Chain A
């Protein structure tokens, strides 16, 4: 159904249904709420921002729990390593597993956090903790890190959303108890870009404008009679949607505008193309972009699964880092690679798999003022225990927040009056900066 048909059908719809349907069609359910917010200068919400080494974040989230021993904390020769070898990288003294030959050439830009340790060993709880910094509770929905970043540092580009999730489902924690304008815009398939954002075929600009004017006329009386915040918000959202439709920034969502050579270098999978779209969104001032990759829960035939899955991850990440760097964007873009937990050093005897292992795992940080070519933290010879540089999930979030200059001590209250901070009690890993 086009906008045109909708207008015809408007007689049968309530006005609220019409507006809701139109907004949904333009941006997908829930997606339009990001448009509610007017551009805010930093500090307008009273957040005192410190010096920032990073402006944007690309947060790669590997759902299911990436095996640390088979990726960024290899243990060559140990019984727990299985058949996987370690390879040298562009950073002397830093090895990664042989599954990451492309990323190995970018490790001079990357810090591996090998002492990650979580308290949660189940997926839902682990993912929630990793993405919000707080433990899952029945009584409250915590905002995700992307929502915190946008609330505190503000959106960069007033036409674009501040927080986009690529390849992630609606089940991802998002705005939590923050107002709905901090909801992330979800894009399921990066190759498809932003759906329904073009004028319907056969509707020229003049016709489109006439319809908008008509809509405004229809709404006017209603808005005068019911001057509620939410009614106004819907009108604002509509105006903002049209603004994005007409803006030069819309092209950011279109991977077709990218040269074939670059598209191919990222790999044609959803993950690689998601990384490419993330780069384009960063170029157009999106503050926080998440790229979600599923299927890392390798309980069964761990090594077969990793051989199948790691090439896309390796290529996408390596390309993203090299491309951002050569465009001069990596210096102010913090790239995070996170996962909810690691996988057991013991290889299961029955099916050659690895189980959940929150006690010790690895995450990556690169760009945005992070010192590259280092490993922070150390596990024992079998990858079982953290010996040094233990880093909790709140510590990781605090490190990200520190790079962005966010005030770690600033307390924000939930609607029920409970106090929260961006990284709970986490301490930033200052050794990773300059």
Chain B
């Protein structure tokens, strides 16, 4: 078999290069036929970094390694060097057959590959560039996290937990139990943290301004105050304004409007403010511009106009000012048009 194939190559080259018979039709065994060519002519420069006999550190030239199947598939700094089935587009072959004096000819500064060996490369690529069982050096570690979100700096969700708590000792459990008074759910934001989350789940309709005033004993510790649908008013915000470590205030679906929001200007730690479905207007949110730590302000279903959102975004460039979402358009009778291939 070996004899027959060798004879075929010899004959092909002898007859006429252009005809290229024999080899292209024969399956090429990578490990037995191609690998020795790469080892002899390419590996000196295109393999894993190593220290040569003279003690010099040798890194793969052009970022190209040919000592593993995944490395070969990956290519070098300038991209792929192998296009299976297309030798004329594969630099792994084309650069070995450039004229002797061409600056791109490989191997660089060495004798050209004998025609028999360039023909092995060509035929191997033409036949699909299979590697058989050979895999060689372990390939590059593929990137685990991709997409535009991967480049974003770490979200500040966690940073404030230690920052704001600095110098504060946790309150005694009795103080917390007393303050809860049957309605509030008061919990440390994490085991051992002095900072508290205060909410009234299941009791929102009974929660009024007096319940906010009752938070006074906890005032240094409240970091999250969650009041959706509570019956709190603008007047109640006076008590909220006295919570120096308040980071997250949720007033969604309450009656708190401009006079209430105007009192929050001193909450310098405030990062999240939810005013969804409140009567707050452009004038009200203008006072928020002072709160430089704000990261997110939610204003959908409030009275704030598009122009008001734009102004607030300009005043707080680091914050996410959230208005109405782009919900999918409701389905109509012609809903199938959205996905033309959907059977109807």
Residues of A within 8 A of B (CB): 39, 41-43, 48-53, 91-94, 98-99, 101-102, 105, 108, 111, 115, 156-160, 247-249, 261-262, 264-265, 267-268, 283-285, 304, 307-308, 310-311, 315, 318-319, 322-323, 325-328, 331, 369, 371-378, 387-389, 405, 431, 433-434
Q: Which of B208-216, B260-268, B280-288, B319-327 interfaces with chain A?
A: B319-327
Indicate if the CB atoms of B147 and A322 lie closer than 8 Å.
no
Given A265-B327, A285-B201, decide whether A434 and B146 contact each other with a Cβ distance below 8 A: no
**Residue ID in chain A nearest B341 by CB atoms:** A307
Indicate if the CB atoms of A247 and B341 lie closer than 8 Å.
no
**B326 → chain A closest CB, angstroms:** 6
Question: When the two chains form the complex, which single residue of A50, A265, A374, A389 contacts B328, counting CB atoms closer than 8 Å?
Answer: A265
**Residue ID in chain B nearest A304 by CB atoms:** B343
Q: Can you list 20 A-B pairs with a CB-CB distance of less than 8 A?
A: A51-B193, A53-B157, A111-B149, A158-B201, A159-B201, A247-B202, A265-B327, A265-B328, A284-B201, A307-B341, A308-B342, A311-B338, A315-B331, A326-B300, A328-B272, A369-B157, A371-B152, A388-B143, A389-B145, A434-B157
Indicate if the CB atoms of B148 and A378 lie closer than 8 Å.
no
Question: When the two chains form the complex, which single residue of B144, B191, B229, B296 contacts A49, counting CB atoms closer than 8 Å?
Answer: B191
Question: When the two chains form the complex, which single residue of B152, B190, B324 contacts A52, counting CB atoms closer than 8 Å?
Answer: B190
**A113 → chain B closest CB, angstroms:** 11
CB-CB contacts of B16-56 with A at 8 A, as 1s and 0s? 00000000000000000000000000000000000000000
Indicate if the CB atoms of A50 and B190 lie closer than 8 Å.
yes
Q: Which B residues are CB-close (under 8 A) to A283?
A: 228
Indicate if the CB atoms of B298 and A326 lie closer than 8 Å.
yes
**Residue ID in chain B nearest A95 by CB atoms:** B147
Given A327-B298, A328-B274, decide whether A315 and B328 contact each other with a Cβ distance below 8 A: yes
CA distance A390 to B74 in the complex (A): 21
Q: Which B residues are CB-close (under 8 A) to A376?
A: 144-145
Task: Say yes or no for B150: interface residue by CB 8 A criterion.
Answer: yes
Q: Which B residues are CB-close (under 8 A) to A91?
A: 147-149
How extensive is the interface on chain B, given as a class?
35 or more
Q: Which A residues are CB-close (under 8 A) to B327?
A: 262, 265, 319, 322-323
CA distance A94 to B147 in the complex (A): 5
Given A50-B190, A264-B330, A307-B342, decide whether A378 and B146 contact each other with a Cβ distance below 8 A: yes
Q: Which A residues are CB-close (under 8 A) to B155?
A: 369, 371, 434
Q: Which B residues are CB-close (under 8 A) to A308?
A: 342-343
Indicate if the CB atoms of A49 and B190 lie closer than 8 Å.
yes
Indicate if the CB atoms of B158 and A53 lie closer than 8 Å.
yes
Indicate if the CB atoms of B328 and A318 lie closer than 8 Å.
yes
Indicate if the CB atoms of B145 and A327 lie closer than 8 Å.
no
Indicate if the CB atoms of B325 and A326 lie closer than 8 Å.
yes
Question: When the two chains form the complex, which single residue of A51, A157, A265 contacts B189, counting CB atoms closer than 8 Å?
Answer: A51
Indicate if the CB atoms of B202 and A405 lie closer than 8 Å.
no
Q: Which B residues are CB-close (under 8 A) to A108?
A: 148-149
Indicate if the CB atoms of A248 and B201 lie closer than 8 Å.
no
Contacts A42-B187, A53-B157, A326-B276 known; list 19 others, CB within 8 Å.
A43-B191, A49-B190, A51-B161, A91-B148, A108-B149, A158-B202, A159-B201, A160-B201, A264-B330, A318-B328, A322-B327, A323-B325, A327-B276, A328-B274, A369-B157, A371-B149, A371-B155, A374-B147, A389-B145
Q: Which B residues are CB-close (under 8 A) to A93?
A: 146-148, 150
